[in-house]
Structure 1
Amino acid sequence: MRSHHVSRVIRAPSNAVYDFASNVANLPEWAVGLAQSRVVQKGAVLLVQSPMGRVKVQFVERNTFGVIDHDVTLPSGTVVTNPVRVLPHPHGAEVVFTVRQIERDDAEFARDIGIVQEDLDRLAHVLGDPT
C-alpha cells in the first residue's frame, strides 16, 4: 500500500484553520471529496454521502495538536484511516493530508490525490486565501 502526502499552505492562523476544518458541519463547504451533502451525525459517527457512496466517518476528538485524523468506513466495509494535520506555518497554516492507496488502482489513487488537493485548495479559498 502506497501513501502520498498532500499539503497546502493557507494564509490564515492555524487555530482558525483547525477550528473550521475540524467542524463536521463545515465539511460539505470544502471537503466535497468526502461529503457531498449535509452530514448526519449519530453519536460519534457521521453518515455522509460521498463520491464513493454512503460512508461512515469518525473523527478523533478535538485537540490542541491540530490533528483531524478520521476513519472512513467504505461501502465495502473497509476502514481507511486518514491522517490530517494542521500545522503552524510562517505564512499561516499548513494542512497535510495523507492519502493511502487502499482498494484503488494507480489511476484511481492519482485521482484521489487530485481530489484531496482540490479540497485543500477549496478550504483555503473558503478561509479567504485566494492564492
Structure 2
Amino acid sequence: MPTHEARTVSISIERDWREVYEYASVPQNFARWASGLGSGLERSGEDWTAQGPEGPIRIRFSPPNEFGVLDHVVTLAPGVEILIPLRVTANGSGSEVALTLFRLPGMTAEKFAADADWVQRDLEKLRALLETQRKPTGPT
C-alpha cells in the first residue's frame, strides 16, 4: 500500500487534557461536535453505526486508555476502511486535540482541503463545548 499525503489539524482547548479526553472518548458525545461522522450514531455490538454523507457507515472506536488516543476506523463499504488518528495531549494547563487526515487515492486537492476545513470546524465546535461548559461528563 502506498504512503498517502497527510495533514494534521489541531486545536488548543483551555481544559485539562484528561477532561477533554473523558468527554471526547464517549461515542454518544461525537454527535455534538463531530459532524463528519454523520448522524444517528447507534451502538451495534462492538462497533457503532451512523448515516454518513454518502450512506450508512460503521465506526470502531479505540478502547478507553490513559494515553489520550481516540483513534477510530470508519468503514464506508465492505473492504473500504479509513483510519482516523485522533489524539488529546497536554498543552500546559490545557490540551491539544489533533486529527490526522489522509488523502486517499482519487481524492482531489480541493476535496482534501475541504475535508481539512470540515475537521477544523468540528474541532472548533468541540472547543466551544468544552470551554463554555463547567464539566461535561457522560453522553448528553
Q: TM-score by structure 1 length?
A: 0.91
Give 3-state SS (helix, strand or coil) of 1:74's partner: strand
Structure 1 runs (4+) deviating above 4 angstroms are none
Report how many aligned residue pairs link the two structures: 128
Q: Distance in 2 between matches of 1:70 and 1:43?
A: 15
Q: For 2:85, give the aligned amino acid.
A: P
* Aligned residue in 2 for 1:29: 32
Q: Deviations over 1:70-102 (max 9, x none)?
A: 100114741011111100001400001001111
Gaps of 5+ in 1: none
* Aligned residue in 2 for 1:55: 57
Q: For 1:62, give the aligned amino acid.
A: P
Give percent identity, aligned residues only.
34
Matched, 1:122 2:86: no
Aligned-pair CA distance for 1:51? 2.3
Q: TM-score by structure 2 length?
A: 0.86
Q: Distance in 2 between matches of 1:21 and 1:64?
A: 13
Gaps of 5+ in 2: 133-140
Larger radius of gyration: 2
Instruction: Give the root-mean-square deviation of aligned CA atoms.
Output: 1.4
Of the structure 1 ranges 43-52 and 85-94, higher mean CA displacement relative to structure 2 is found in 43-52
Q: Distance in 2 between matches of 1:91 and 1:5?
A: 22
